[in-house]
Chain A
């Protein structure tokens, strides 16, 4: 079945450090790929997305590129802030035949220290 694997956390960084969170997927078909962020006590917020191979999603300084050849969608940010401390989820979504559902990875907790 379809699945998403992302690096386990927690990831602890100092402010202004470079952040990478690895994400790989397995899917039958051509999924859309997403990164969601969950701040403490809150629901999920869409951070960025890419709908086809070689697309780059970007938002709030975060970027991820849809790599079909390596089935990956790694999240990167060049200079993190304390406010980026959260749990990040990689997810994929296929079309109607697969129920239009989101399939999530296990999440990566990121802690940024001042």
Chain B
């Protein structure tokens, strides 16, 4: 069984640019959550997608947006990049959004904004 995968592994962007990060959920999982982990800190919830609809959002500005596709893979898009967006971006998939279902994390995408 393939686990959660993310691409790319590393990415360097310039302030003001836009970036798209990708996540393939584990087989059979219809829910994907995205987290931002700044250096030396714990992950912060960005948003969750369930069956192609946004199903909850954390305290992130609208320039953070997402998509979920019919195969339940997902994208995180960040517009107008700022230096503080430099972080490890983690996605996690689960069988369903309910609390009873464990979230399985991918290895993350390291984004550096210069």
A contact residues vs B (CB 8 Å cutoff) = 4, 32, 36, 41-46, 49, 89, 91, 93-96, 99-107
Which B residues between 52 and 66 are near A, CB-CB below 8 angstroms?
A: 55-58
Chain B: residues with CB nearer than 8 A to chain A?
A: 4, 33, 35, 40-45, 48, 55-58, 90, 92, 97-99, 102-108
CB <8 Å contact, A43 and B108: yes
Q: Are A101 and B105 neighbours in the complex by a CB distance under 8 Å? A: no
Bound-state CA distance A86–B112 (Å) is 23
Q: Is the CB of A100 within 8 A of B98?
A: yes
Complex alpha-carbon distance, A49 and B99, angstroms: 12
Q: Bound state CA distance, A32 and B108, in angstroms?
A: 24
**Which residues of the other chain, B, contact A36 by a CB distance below 8 angstroms?**
105
Q: Are A102 and B45 in contact (CB under 8 A)?
A: yes
